Amino acid sequence: MTIAVLGGAGYIGSHTVAQLVKAGEDVVVLDNLITGHRQAVDPKARFYQGDIRDYHFLSSVFSQEKIDGIIHFAAFSIVPESMKDPLKYFDNNTGGMITLLEAMHQFGIGKIVFSSTAATYGEPKSIPIKEDDPQVPTNPYGESKLAMEKIMHWSDVAYGIKFVALRYFNVAGAMPDGSIGEDHNPETHLIPIILQVAAGTRDGLQIFGDDYPTKDGTNVRDYVHVVDLADAHILAMKYLNDGGDSNAFNLGSATGFSNLEILNAARKVTGKEIPAKIGPRRAGDPSTLIAASDKARKILGWQPQYDDVEKVIATAWNWHESHPKGFGDR
């Protein structure tokens, strides 16, 4: 089958493209390269540069290629940026989804696997977070993705477009062979920032807040390896191909690590001191996010390979050490 990966030049998208190619799938990548990297895309995938808000772009690709299913990563995803510029998020993320679904409906493409987020839950009422827990986002990023889930639901009801929403927790790591990895500009995520400090390509690290109601006062997050996450998308597409109904799944490890625990794990993996200061809280950060992800294991048959946060960090460190300038394209 031919799968179109939207945002396939981005961090999670490029790892999914690589895993799809390895699995023998025919892959088409669409990306506007605003945050993605052309070099991150597996050479066996056919690449089209353009924006999913552009209906003519989508219809031209969908006319040239016979697409059987869509995997959709093409969205902005930085929580603090969304607090400062919410309309950017509603325009690209939510608006982009409307244009995409219009094109899918027009071209008879009936399946979409969508990259949603734990940020749709907001500050959870209970831990671990289950898929049917209330979704009350605390930031515009999460709100934009929740709206996308709802739009997909009503498009299923009206047009029969089936979807799987994968709600990611904190994604980290890189392809174990070091060929691709995380390269954001600016970088805002904890693990790559820590590793840039370890590699000497960044000056300082601040831990945002140590007065949360957690074990050591710093935020607690649930980390999942990017290759495990990529494989979950392939399983989700298979689930839809096998006639599975629209559904949502958490993707996490069900284990929480505080920001200080991550810092200490990175010190151990890298053997570097990694100096850090405690700073003020960052706006929009929930205190603790840990997934219940037995649903994905049970229904999709998902079996994450990286169950140890040090192993996750080690693959990211391999990438950062060998690519101190990332892909080097900006």
Q: Give the interface with ligand UFG as residue ranges (CB under 6 A).
A: 77, 79, 117-119, 169-170, 188-190, 193, 206-208, 219, 221, 259, 282, 285, 289
The b/e string for 96-121 (b: 16+ C-beta within 10 A; e otherwise) is bbbbbbebbeebebbbbbbbbbbbbb
Q: Which is nearer to ligand UFG, 27 or 276 (CB)?
A: 276
Beta bridge partners of 247: 164
DSSP state string for 88-153: HHIIIIIIHHHHHHHHHHHHT--EEEEEEEGGGTBS-SSSSBPTTS--B-SSHHHHHHHHHHHHHH
**Smallest separation, CB 285 to ligand UFG (Å):** 5
User: In angstroms, what is the minimal distance from the CB of 19 to ligand UFG?
Assistant: 20
Distance separating alpha carbons of residues 280 and 181, to the nearest angstrom:
29
Looking at the Cβ atoms of 163 and 169, the one nearer to ligand UFG is 169
227 vs 263, which CB is nearer to ligand UFG? 263
Q: Which pairing describes strands 26-31 and 223-225: parallel, antiparallel, or unpaired?
A: unpaired
Question: Position of tokens 């999670």?
Answer: 12
Question: Considering the complex, what minimum distance in angstroms separates the CB of residue 221 from ligand UFG?
Answer: 5
CB of 123 vs ligand UFG, minimal distance in Å: 12
Task: Report the residue number whose CB is nearest to ligand UFG.
Answer: 219
Shortest Cβ 284–ligand UFG spacing (Å): 8
154-171 per-residue burial string, b: 16 or more CB within 10 A, e: under 16: ebbeeeebbbbbbbbbbb
- CB nearer ligand UFG, residue 278 or residue 299: 278
Residue 44 or 282 with smaller CB distance to ligand UFG: 282
In the complex, what is the shortest distance from the CB of residue 320 to ligand UFG, in angstroms, rounded to a whole number? 15
Q: What are the backbone angles phi and psi of residue 189, rounded to the nearest 5°?
A: -85, 150
* Strands 247-251, 162-168: pairing kind: parallel
For 191-242, strand residue ranges (E) read: 206-208, 220-221, 223-225
Long-range CB contacts for residues 153-162, cutoff 8 Å, separation at least 24: 153/246, 155/101, 155/105, 156/246, 159/101, 159/105, 160/110, 161/101, 161/104, 161/105, 161/109, 161/110, 161/111, 161/112, 162/110, 162/111, 162/112, 162/240, 162/244, 162/245, 162/246
Catalytic residue among 141, 168, 212, 239: 141
Return the number of the residue (93 or 161) whose C-beta is nearest ligand UFG.
93
Concerning whether 141 is annotated as a catalytic residue, the answer is yes
How is residue 158 written in tokens? Answer: 């009206």
Active site residues: 141
